[in-house]
Amino acid sequence: MSQYIDDDRRMPRFRVNRKVMTDPDVFAREKEKIFDKTWLYLGHETELRKPNDFKTRNVGGRPLIFTRDKKGRIRVWVNSCPHRGAMLCREGSGNARFMTCAYHGWSFSTSGDLVSMPGDTAYGPGFERPGLAAPAKVDSYRGFVFVSFDPEIVDLKTYLAGAAEYLDLVSDMSVEGMEALEGTHHYSARANWKLLVENSFDGYHAMSTHQRYFEMIVAARGPIDAGSSLANSRSINLGNGHAVTVGASGSGDIFGRALSAEARAEREARYERLRAKYGEGWVERLNGIRNMVIFPNLVVIDLVMGVVIRKIDPIAPDYMEVTAWELAPPEEGPELKRQRLDNFLTFWGPGGLASPDDVEMLESAQSAYASVAELEWSDISRGMHSNVPIQSDEYQMRTFWRRWNEIITGEVLPPEEYDPLPGYWTAPRLDLEADTPVTSF
Ligand code: FES
Ligand code: FE
């Protein structure tokens, strides 16, 4: 047993030592062994609509520039001037052919070339003009752009393993391709980043933590049959530390506000087109709900009326920053779009009905870890005794923790074995060969 994970299969019981949420040495090791060595989500290709669009963003503690060059190619640069290091691009987003460093005025194109420097004759004819530095690897899958700072890392598709199929499900909601909507949520929490990983696919907390939200839904549309939705759910290990919880087709509607007949008809017409393209089984899956964590820090939640992408950034053992975006079909009509945005703001937003509840719980846990010496372990055993792990169990978290433990301590713990998934949760997309390109930059 490692000092961090107690994985007792006989009892059965799974516990995580709370030091992993508080210890600066663990935090330093995470940076070196996880955030410097895995694929990390940077952004969605559709955030950069035109040539020379850019976003600046921190990933794995590094300041980066996410841009399209003038030829429309996605490029990622380290946001530091090769001259003496000043942050080159100090805006959050914009469109610019050239980025000029505020310190001594060196200017770079979005292709990373140094195009001018004040008084350049002082450098002599042999001087090699340095271009912008880039992360070791940049790849995208279905528009999701990832970077890695490890030149030796496996290719992105291999790394994503079973998670790629769930990015397909989310991306296939529009035959035109999903787009990230303008507008971003930024918030922070005084809690360890892994607490939000756990929370992002924790189906157990919803009714108690978000009681007010459910009271509002019940008042608006009558009692909710959450039990039947849970009974028809699964928690799935996707490999490499990634995991997802899935709920049956249509279960998102149970937890959301009612849609008008017109909006339902519009959605149904879109699904009809998707059925013709991808087959009934795939679209039934697509119409279900899912909460996925792609190890270590990317969350994709497709729950009530929308798809949320959440990037979690560890800043200190007890502090994280979070960025979130909403994905949508570009062809969506006004009512569905309004509901989607309303839900993104009023449910998931930093001042919404759900996220502040969650942040409150995570911060209360983090501050209570001050007594880690007296109460060392957190319990994550839920559902371990059954043959079928469901959404409100904790198998998805154990999957994350085993991978985390393997990377941090080298201890390999065997995966849990469960009954095979029913066929309706493995139905393939009919035109599988058509398009799942990994683009290398
Ligand atoms: Fe950028 Fe000198 S540090 S021009
Ligand atoms: Fe929650």
pLDDT digits (tens, 9 = 90+) for 396-427: 999 999 999 999 999 999 999 999 999 999 99
Residue type, position 329, single letter: P
Q: Is 106 in the pocket of ligand 1 (CB under 6 A)?
A: yes
Cβ-contact 323, 186 below 8 angstroms: yes
Tokens found for residue 74: 């996605």
Q: How far apart are CA 10 and CA 82, in angstroms?
A: 56
Which one of the ligands is nearest to 80 CA? 1
Q: Is 81 in the pocket of ligand 1 (CB under 6 A)?
A: yes
18-43 confidence digits (pLDDT tens): 999 999 999 999 999 999 999 999 99
> Is the confidence at residue 227, as pLDDT, over 90?
no
289-326 confidence digits (pLDDT tens): 999 999 999 999 998 789 999 999 999 999 999 999 99
Largest pairwise CA distance in the chain: 78
Which one of the ligands is nearest to 87 CA? 1
Per-residue confidence (pLDDT) for residue 438, from 0 to 100: 57
Q: For residue 106, give the ligand 1 atom closest to its CA.
A: 4
Residue identifier of the C-alpha nearest atom 2 of ligand 1: 104
> Is the confidence at residue 433, as pLDDT, over 50?
no
Q: Which of 42, 28, 41 is nearest to 316 (CA)?
A: 28
Residues of the chain with pLDDT > 90, as a percent, come to 85
What mean pLDDT, rounded, does the chain reach? 94
Q: Per-residue pLDDT averaged across 138-161, rounded?
A: 98
> Is the confidence at residue 209, as pLDDT, over 70?
yes
Q: Which of 149, 135, 152 is nearest to 32 (CA)?
A: 149
Q: How far apart are CA 435 and CA 52, in angstroms?
A: 26
b/e 207-229 (16+ beta carbons within 10 angstroms → b): eebbeebbeebeeeeeeeebeeb
Cβ-contact 200, 299 below 8 angstroms: yes
Distance 134 CA to ligand 1 centre (A): 17
Cβ contacts of 89 within 8 Å, gap of 6 or more: 54, 56, 65, 79, 99
Among the ranges 215-219, 225-229, 262-266, 405-409, which has the highest mean pLDDT value? 405-409
Q: Which of 106, 107, 120, 123 to mutate to test the pocket of ligand 1 (most atoms within 8 A of CB)?
A: 106
Cβ contacts of 85 within 8 Å, gap of 6 or more: none
Cα–Cα distance list, 232 to 114, 253, 293, 302, 389 (Å): 57, 14, 20, 16, 11
Per-residue confidence (pLDDT) for residue 441, from 0 to 100: 60
Q: How confident is the model at residue 224 (pLDDT cuts 50, 70, 90)?
A: confident
Q: Per-residue pLDDT averaged across 317-339, rounded?
A: 95
Distance 399 CA to ligand 2 centre (A): 19
Q: Is 87 in the pocket of ligand 1 (CB under 6 A)?
A: no
Q: Is 195 in the pocket of ligand 1 (CB under 6 A)?
A: no
Q: How confident is the model at residue 214 (pLDDT cuts 50, 70, 90)?
A: confident
3-state secondary structure of 220: helix
Residues of the chain with pLDDT > 70, as a percent, come to 98
Q: Which domains does the chain have, with CATH numbers?
A: 5-37+162-434 (3.90.380.10), 40-140 (2.102.10.10)
Distance 225 CA to ligand 2 centre (A): 18
Distance 82 CA to ligand 1 centre (A): 7
| Helix extents (H) in 204-287 | 206-209, 211-221, 226-231, 251-255, 261-278, 280-286
